[in-house]
A and B are shown apart, each in its own frame.
Chain A
Amino acid sequence: MTQPTQAASPEQENLLKGLDYSIVQQCMHCGMCLPTCPTYAETLEERSSPRGRIALMRGVADGRLEVSEDFAKEMYFCLGCLACQTACPAGVDYANLFEHARAEIERTGVLATPRRTRIRSIALRWLFPSRRRLHTLGWMLRLYQWTGLQWLVRASRVLYLLPRWLRELEPLTPKVSRRFTAAEHGRRLASQPTLPRHRVALLSGCVQDLAFADVNADTIDVLQVNGCEVLLPADQQCCGSLHGHNGELELARELARVNIDAFDPASLDAIIVNAGGCGSHMTHYDRLLADDEQYAQRAKIWSEKVRDIHEFLVEIGMRTPTSVLDMGGAVTYHESCHLRHGQGVSQAPRKILASIQGLELVELPEADWCCGSAGIYNITQPEMSMQLLDRKMGHVEGTGATIVATGNPGCAVQLQHGLRRKNIHGTVVHPVTLLAQAYRAEEPETDQNEEK
């Protein structure tokens, strides 16, 4: 196992200094980003605003500021929700700045403690880059949940024997799917259209694959209904967004290369993602591998072909379902930050939901405000994460909706936790799942997935 943080060697260039200076200089500090920043809204501290954070990064790039512990903490206090990028008239590439700032923090090891290093090694270097290990974990969790052990653990308060950080994590464990994506895909090979209009490949994701394989199954279904041949490349790995956002740019590059090889983008019409967080990162493979002679060209093709499922369905003129769905309550839509701000996809999911007859769609106030999930933020910054979740759930309650639709597994897990936390009777679904249900309701007798 390699160490996630290499000691900074003097001959190595500070990663923020190494960035094209025009990116650092682009911010003209007008402040338009401030009212859209969740951490600024909660704290009213300039350092916790995008403008403040960019000023700190510029300070490091200019050599005025050290990569101090304070600096590092602030960069990890940022959600990385990218709401500031949507708000920025000047077009500051905050995602790029932010990833380099965190990478620089890991390079210098300013936050390194034995425990933090251990956790990062296990999660970022050992677990997530390996589909086999993720599946093993999935099986273990499945046993834990299906044998009733989870119920016993929760009821017996045995959790209090665990260290606090681990104990607080337990309620966030998502329910593991009964089948992983590959098995779901296998069951659908017979339904591939005979004369496909589009040839697409699906990223199965890591959390999505373990806990929301049914969303992947629904995604395959709606694509097939709309004339797509859906491939599921067997050698694909985690997209690397977790690594890119957490200061492990080299690992993120390795994973990007593996996926480009596994998918062969030139042979596809589109690379489909149904997780906002993954999609946002995947559209940046071109930037990530720009200096890689061997991969730069294919990374560019990759980035052009990545499509969020909602965006793609609207783009190809999806068929409006003819059925009338009765969901037994109104639906409200929460925007995944990396879908809305990272990819600029905002109307497409709403259009899909609106296409379903019988479905009452209520607009969620502050729909594009981060729910506090933000990758692993709910683990690393539980306090702010819960503050934001409470704000979100307050709005959800106000809509009176019993179904919250959202296009990212991280948000889904967080919102499910929010519903339990607030004792709100409701469910969280992916918009595509509702669409799949609507298609299935058209001809229930031919539905091969009736058991769901």
Chain B
Amino acid sequence: MTVIEKLQQALGDEAVRTSPEDLSVYAFDGTAILFQLPTCVVLPESVDQVATILTIANDMATAVVTRGSGTGLAGGSVPSPGCIVLCLVKLNRVLEVDTANLTMTVEPGVLTQKIADTATAAGLFYPPDPGSIKISTIGGNVANNSGGLRGLKYGVTRDYVMALEVVLADGRVLQTGTKCVKDVAGFSLRDLFIGSEGTLGVMTKITLKLIPPPETKATMLGLFDQMTDAARTISAIIEARIIPCTLEFLDRTTVACVEEFAHIGLPTDVEALTLMEVDGHPAQVAEAADQIEKIALEHGAREVRRASSEEEATRLASARRTAFSALARRAPTVILEDITVPRSELAKMVAAVERIAKEHDLEVGTFGHMGDGNLHPTFLTDERDKVEMQRVEVAMKEMFQTAIDLGGTITGEHGVGLAKKPFLRGALGDVPLDVMKSLKGVFDPKGILNPGKIFD
């Protein structure tokens, strides 16, 4: 019996999608260019079904690529050749909001936005807000340890995961972590699964930490005539020991694209725009906002504008989240990078991105979470232009090397997947990579889980 027949026998014929149409729409994620048809697609509706699918796949040594909404930006959920796509969007129940312990337990297919909204409805706050929050699933967020616009003050997804239920490659179900604030009973397997990109197990239940929401916030826009001035401002804010919740930045090209889509009156005649937000106690917020304004003006800001209302602040943050997609207005193919450097090195990195793009005659739109040192230089290109694509490749390598030389990393929040795989050994060195591979062998001896991602 083939793997398809076995799955059909276990789940029913209808549950296993094999038509060319169904295979085509699960052949990609949010990453440019990458495309690979799977063998079949399954959308389980219970943990038992997930375990059944994995048991069959393991028996038949067939690859399984787990995905949610497919918004990944490093090809982590692009099918491996011959694989089963395990799409978890139908495992989408909020199981519990525990207001006594300030936790929420959900299935992996719940949308991040729904988690944020559910927390808000309970008078609580779930801070991680990746750009794709409206459609990304929490399972994907945990598997990639997603960041977002509030990382600077509130951290990333890892900081909010308390417990996981995971189906292992052989179909066994593992629980790791508890609702306890302190828990040192054995290795923290939970932390191993976070950011493992579907290579170690399939998460089926996630318990998240929630916090009380900030009382108030102030949102500001900094207008700069030079990119490096914006970068210096960010570094200076951190150096002044102010920790805003958001310190975002967009360059001229990105601002133009976002404004074209969102029509919210962003200034399009600037070289860089910073979105700066502080939250907390009203008195602290007011003081920090004044300080930030002063620092920005001292470091060459042409002007600092304050959002007049909560709605305007939300509009600005929402617009910022569309930056990557909006850049697609400029070119048929957009290739997004995710380099991150220590915040003191921001100005150097920003200057290097500009220089490298110019040297290779490439159009690059840059935006990112400057407060985290996390930049998203985005190549605006056309995949059909092979010559230009080669130049993109070279420029990308140079940017990675610069980031590493400055003490940074090749990916801050998108993950390694397929897109960054060739550069991982160079970034980490041999020993960490060898240990990772050994661990992978323990969890997934037959190598069925998302094979070929992160490393070969």
Q: Which residues of A contact B (CB under 8 A)?
A: 22, 25-26, 28-32, 34-35, 44-47, 49, 51-52, 55-56, 59, 64-66, 68, 70-71, 74, 88-91
Contact = CB atoms under 8 A, between A and B. Distances in A.
B20 A65 contact: yes
A28 B261 contact: no
Contact of B21 (A28, A49, A56): A56
Contacts of A34: 69, 135
B38 to A, nearest CB: 12
Given A44-B89, A46-B26, A68-B20, A28 B69 contact: no
16 contacts: A25-B333, A28-B32, A28-B325, A28-B334, A30-B30, A32-B132, A34-B135, A44-B90, A44-B92, A46-B25, A49-B25, A65-B24, A89-B257, A89-B328, A89-B329, A91-B328
B111 interface: yes
B143 to A, nearest CB: 16
Q: Which of B134, B260, B322, B328 has the most CB of A within 10 A?
A: B328
A118 B288 CA distance: 71
B226 to A, nearest CB: 27
A51 B89 CA distance: 15
Nearest to B328: A90
A31 B19 contact: no
A35 B113 contact: yes
Nearest to B113: A35
A30 B132 contact: yes
Contacts of A68: 20-21
Q: How large is the interface on B (under 10, 10 to 19, 20 to 34, 35 or more residues)?
A: 35 or more
Contact of A31 (B24, B69, B258, B261): B69
Given A31-B132, A34-B69, A91-B261, 12 more contacts: A22-B332, A28-B328, A31-B136, A46-B70, A56-B24, A70-B21, A71-B21, A88-B325, A89-B261, A89-B326, A90-B328, A91-B329
Contacts of B22: 46-47
A363 to B, nearest CB: 14
B324 interface: yes
Contacts of A30: 30, 71, 132, 324-325, 328
A299 B26 CA distance: 40
Contacts of A47: 21-22, 25
B433 interface: no
B87 interface: yes
A71 B326 CA distance: 28
Nearest to A49: B25
B317 interface: no
Contacts of B334: 28
Contact of B134 (A25, A35, A74, A88): A35
Given A31-B71, A35-B111, A89-B328, A55 B89 contact: no
Q: When A and B form their complex, which 4 residue pairs have the shortest distance between CB atoms, in order from nearest?
A: A90-B328, A89-B325, A52-B25, A89-B322
Contacts of A35: 111, 113, 134-135
B329 A90 contact: yes
A30 B70 CA distance: 8
A400 B239 CA distance: 54
A214 B250 CA distance: 51
B135 A31 contact: yes
Given A30-B30, A31-B69, A35-B135, A90 B326 contact: yes
Given A31-B135, A35-B113, A55 B28 contact: yes
Contacts of B322: 32, 89
Contact of B325 (A32, A56, A66, A74): A32
Contacts of A70: 19-21
B24 A29 contact: no
Interface string B307-340: 0000000000000001011101100111000000
B43 A31 contact: no
Interface in B32-89: 32, 43, 69-71, 87, 89
B413 interface: no
Contacts of B70: 29, 31, 46
